[in-house]
Structure 1
Amino acid sequence: MTARVVVVGGGLAGLTAACELADRGLAVTLLEARARLGGVTFSFNRGDLVVDNGQHVLLRCYTAYLDFLRKIGVAHHIDMQPRMHIPVQGVDGTPGSLSRTALPAPLHLLGSLATYKLLSPADRLRAARAVPAMRRLNPADPRLDEQSLGDWLRAHGQNDATIAALWNLITVAALNCDADEASLALAAKVFRTGLLDRSENCDIGVPAVPLSELHGEPAMAYLQAHGAQVRLHAPVQEIRRDDNGFEVVTGEDTIVADAVVVATAADAAARLLPDVVTDDLGHSPIFNVHVVFPRRVTDLPFVAVVGSPVQWAFDRTAVSGLTEGQYLAVSVSAAGDWIDLPVPRLRELFLPEISRVLPGAAGQHPTDFFVTRERTATFRQQPGSGRRRAAQRTGTPGLVLAGAWTATGWPDTMEGAVRSGQNAARLLSEQLPAPVSEVAR
């Protein structure tokens, strides 16, 4: 008999696990409480605009995530830079950039660092001297998880200027916290894997279609084409273990399964499995300020900003379907001090900043201004978080966890989520009998 697997949760982790298990010929049922798939990556309509709930980018080192997109047939919808190039704007208007060359790592970044105008020559030298030490760090060393990146940087000659204008430019975006609050283990993973180990790893990709067209919708089609059942509006209330397997209780019925993947957010997993998920990792919020201008403001696809609430600004015009003017999305990470401010206050704060950073916006009256908030965007990736992340393999055979918050060794990113889904499918495949057709081969 074909093994029956229930996947609880339709975010990237659950979608990946479900697709992998369906590929193996198992009878997969995916349960999602919401009316859509995609988890915290989704789109919605606002008038004629198609809006993503938040701006997501990837690096070429996101190999598992890119494999997932290829599997569901949408990898061609990623605009990937041939070589990493980040335009950077200083608070005083000083332009700069971080780019790579074709040289092998870490030489690929040294030319850009040597001419980085947002740091003095002395500070550029300080930053360059820290690079070899960062490359020697082992992200898997548990001792690194007990330290902050900020403490390590200062111990290696970095001052406030280098941390603000260089290290935090990456840290805040990648870990959703600044260097003083970031686990050194996770920071080492970001800087080594993303920037320093291989030159091409740091190339940046941006979705060219709305997130729902990149994740939820094509994954739904893939699962249905491979015989999986997908049920929306199906919140799971309880998971029971019995002698024959599992019973997954929803608001409407009870599903019998031989194995279960719990791929929900951490707090939801703790409610379903209080004996398995016990540590509270906390949350770090992200919000996006969305502004539509009647005329174009910039020709840059995106720009990073130092010393301003406008951390990163992205041109969303084409992907949103806008045909006149320009639509910018300003992504603000580590947003604990901002997340609950009302929209009028955010408008009062951000419109002058956008005009200062991007002078093309000065004098324009936006035709639309709105805010999207993700209060639980990531777990708090602080020192000590690594030892508190739940293992994907539980003590119960046939029950595994998935999610970017589990112990993948990666930060809370799309790559981490997909890797957790792949790991969950592999763990169950080791425990369940192979389908008859696979045995016959």
Structure 2
Amino acid sequence: MEQLTRRTVLKAVGVGVAVAGTTLVVPSLTGPAAKAVPPTGGGRGRGVAIFGGGMSGLTVAHELIERGFAVTVYEPAFLGGKARSMDVPNTAAGGRLALPGEHGFRFFPGCYQHVPDTMQRIPVGRGGNVKDTHLINVEGAVIALDEAGYAPITVPQSVNGFVEHASAMVSLENFRNALTTSLKIVGDIPPHELAYFVTRELIIATSCQERRIGQWEEQSWMEFVKARGKSSAYQKYLVSALTRATVAAKPDLGSARTIGQIGLALVTSATGLISQYSGTIVGGGVDRVLNAPTDHAWINPWVDYLRGRGVQFVMGQGATAFDVSGGQVTGVQVSGTSGSTTVTADHYVAAMPLDKLKPLLRPDVLAAAPSLAGIAELQDDWMVGIQYFLSRRSDVPPSHIASLGTPWALTGLFQAGPWDVDFGRKYGDGRVHDCLSIDISDWDTPGILYGRTAKQCTKGEIAKEVWAQMSRAMNRGSTPILRESEVVSWHLDPGITWSPTISNETPLMVNTAGSYRYRPTADTAIPNFFIGGDHVRTNIDLATMEGANESGRRVANAILDASGSNAERVAVHPLWELPFLDPFKQTDRDRYRAGLPHIMDV
């Protein structure tokens, strides 16, 4: 290919942006993908012990039980991990179900491929499956900027969404709010800064994999978009709030490669140009949720299916030590409600969260698999949810809520609408008619009521602070959306406890710049020992259900190789990118190898 000039690249990228933004129906394309690292291992045997019954562990069990393996899952607490939902204690009355609590509301972007595929293979009802029965589109979004002069606006996420909810989106109130917010943000974020931000994302889109790993992985997203010296609104909304709302990452810590790639995947899925992604700007599907509590819609049917296929579940038992001898795991010590014992199997899978895995990597384990020492460098953080049960059903169309700029980085979802349920008839004691489920992403920034971080507050103070922050952002228009008088009760994730001091039983791994080198692969130097979880090196490389599911698939493939199985390997999907970007990536590859910067990196 002939050398491309900077002007040629910029012109072509501009054409690409125009194509990506069109609302025309364009035939789907199949894009190129990064190749997965091939698994290694040796030996035979079909007995598998999985330690951890979360997203990764259940995925390993699913793939291996369908391929003739004998699988046992050991789980100390709850199946489903951080994806699970739970009953709020003592809230069921009159034949109704208990009010639904959860670790945090579930979000399934259109670029997710592994989780929907697994859902499609879980039967429910009369010939249905979880994906087709319970995974639905959310066609709207509420954007609320937490600053005076802004007003919350409801925007469609697809043409179909606009048509379906036109009455709410073209109302005088929403039009006034949109005009107010648009004028304010144009004044707060200079046009050249907005253009610069878009250019930085285009740099990611046209960078070769070598530069992404070798250069952008080593920079935080905040460094990459060069937030320092830019306007306050650029830093607060474009860089920080938008990142937290869409990818649940910290812009000052997360790698530019990971945040940039997932941002690109979210935008690409909306174009409808990649057949492997669900959703289009016309038909919707870019943003999806379950239409019922997670356990009811997904986890319970999944476990029932696995049990029916022969998976054994040992509850109340968790791994306490891996016994290693002669370069192999010879057994795993477990303890719990039924005492202590040693588990033996042909293959062992550590599918437990990062904070539970780290203490078990003793010197003998690391001596046999030195690369696992990098796990100690990985970090986790807090991100949990709170639910407010309301006496009135919300008038907001089914929408995700992004409260941009709130100190605790809040996002939310009214659940009665997307669930299409009469809350008063189905849940609680008849007084509750909606649930506002909110994720708290920042536990280290002072709030607006008490001037303390979430980690410094009591349980009741957290509930009051979250409501105050969400209300301040949502009620800046002329008509309030949230009314405190409508709160019947609330429920905070029970993983947060205060005995003797505040702690979190379910922290979430947080992506950090440069962490790629520390992430383990699914297979290890110990030929019968495997690692699953969202801390494993995957294509998405972000703490998500999708990443955990992908890691479980990689574990299954590694065990198939280690056992010498001739079963079909499990599908592992890349983050697909638009094919027309390939020539620009090749040009960048040539420049990177020559020690030159990206052609647009000025």
Q: TM-score, normalised by structure 2?
A: 0.64
CA–CA separation in structure 1 for the residues paired with 2:404 and 2:389? 23
Change (3 A) 1:71 1:97: same
CA contact (8 A) 2:318 2:334 kept: yes
Amino acid at match of 2:423: L
Deviations 1:297-321 (A, max 9, x none): 4423332122224621211236597
Aligned equivalent of 1:303: 401
Deviations 1:84-115 (A, max 9, x none): 6432122234234666668xxxxxxxxxxx99
1:289, distance to aligned residue in structure 2 (A): 3.0
CA contact (8 A) 2:227 2:239 kept: no
Please, which of 458, 465, 478 is the counterpart of residue 349 of structure 1? 465
SS at match of 1:290: strand
Aligned equivalent of 1:386: 516
CA contact (8 A) 1:304 1:311 kept: yes
Aligned equivalent of 1:294: 391
Aligned equivalent of 2:152: 95
Deviations 1:151-178 (A, max 9, x none): 1112799644234323434421355443
Amino acid at match of 1:294: S
In the alignment, does 2:65 pair up with 1:22? yes
Q: 296-305 or 318-327: which moved more?
A: 318-327
Aligned equivalent of 1:331: 439
CA contact (8 A) 1:130 1:157 kept: no
Please, which of 327, 334, 345 is the counterpart of residue 250 of structure 1? 334
In the alignment, does 2:276 pair up with 1:234? no
**Structure 2 gap segments, 5+ residues each:** 1-43, 92-97, 124-129, 160-177, 280-285, 425-431, 446-452, 497-503, 569-602
Aligned equivalent of 1:322: 423
Q: 1:113-128 alignment to 2 at 5 Å?
A: 117=182, 119-120=185-186, 122=191, 123-128=193-198
SS at match of 2:72: strand
CA contact (8 A) 1:174 1:190 kept: no
1:197, distance to aligned residue in structure 2 (A): 6.7
Deviations 1:217-249 (A, max 9, x none): 222212112222111112123333457973233
CA contact (8 A) 2:386 2:438 kept: yes
Aligned equivalent of 1:10: 53
Aligned equivalent of 1:108: none
Identical residues among aligned pairs (%): 21
1:282, distance to aligned residue in structure 2 (A): 2.1
Change (3 A) 1:18 1:291: same
In the alignment, does 2:136 pair up with 1:79? yes
Amino acid at match of 1:296: R
In the alignment, does 2:492 pair up with 1:426? no
Q: 417-426 or 201-210: which moved more?
A: 201-210
SS at match of 1:299: coil
Change (3 A) 1:237 1:295: same
**Structure 1 gap segments, 5+ residues each:** 103-113
Q: 1:29-428 alignment to 2 at 5 Å?
A: 29-34=72-77, 36-46=78-88, 47=91, 48-73=98-123, 74-75=130-131, 76-81=133-138, 85-91=140-146, 92=148, 93-96=150-153, 117=182, 119-120=185-186, 122=191, 123-138=193-208, 140-154=212-226, 159-196=231-268, 199-200=271-272, 201=277, 203-241=286-324, 246-251=330-335, 252-274=340-362, 275=366, 276=369, 277-278=372-373, 279-301=376-398, 302-309=400-407, 311-317=410-416, 319=419, 322-323=423-424, 324-337=432-445, 338-340=453-455, 341-356=457-472, 357-358=474-475, 359-362=480-483, 364-372=485-493, 375=504, 376-409=506-539, 410-428=541-559
SS at match of 1:257: coil
Change (3 A) 1:132 1:189: closer
Change (3 A) 1:51 1:411: same
CA–CA separation in structure 2 for the residues paired with 1:420 and 1:363? 42
Aligned equivalent of 1:109: none
SS at match of 1:24: coil
SS at match of 2:352: coil
1:397, distance to aligned residue in structure 2 (A): 0.8
Change (3 A) 1:247 1:128: closer
Amino acid at match of 2:466: F
1:288, distance to aligned residue in structure 2 (A): 2.2
Amino acid at match of 2:311: A
CA–CA separation in structure 1 for the residues paired with 2:153 and 2:230? 19
CA contact (8 A) 2:414 2:436 kept: yes
1:128, distance to aligned residue in structure 2 (A): 3.6
Q: Which has the larger radius of gyration?
A: 2
Q: 305-314 or 142-151: which moved more?
A: 305-314
1:330, distance to aligned residue in structure 2 (A): 1.9
SS at match of 1:360: coil
Aligned equivalent of 1:111: none
Aligned residues: 423
CA–CA separation in structure 2 for the residues paired with 1:163 and 1:98? 23
CA contact (8 A) 1:137 1:188 kept: no
Change (3 A) 1:290 1:100: closer
CA contact (8 A) 1:175 1:182 kept: no
Q: TM-score, normalised by structure 1?
A: 0.85
1:395, distance to aligned residue in structure 2 (A): 0.5
Amino acid at match of 1:284: D
CA contact (8 A) 2:221 2:253 kept: yes
CA contact (8 A) 1:175 1:412 kept: no
Amino acid at match of 2:113: T
Change (3 A) 1:236 1:321: farther
Q: 395-404 or 358-367: which moved more?
A: 358-367
SS at match of 1:65: helix
1:370, distance to aligned residue in structure 2 (A): 3.3
1:51, distance to aligned residue in structure 2 (A): 1.1
Alignment root-mean-square deviation, CA = 3.0
Deviations 1:130-162 (A, max 9, x none): 442232245651322210111111279964423
SS at match of 2:467: helix
CA–CA separation in structure 1 for the residues paired with 2:312 and 2:253? 42
CA contact (8 A) 2:333 2:341 kept: yes
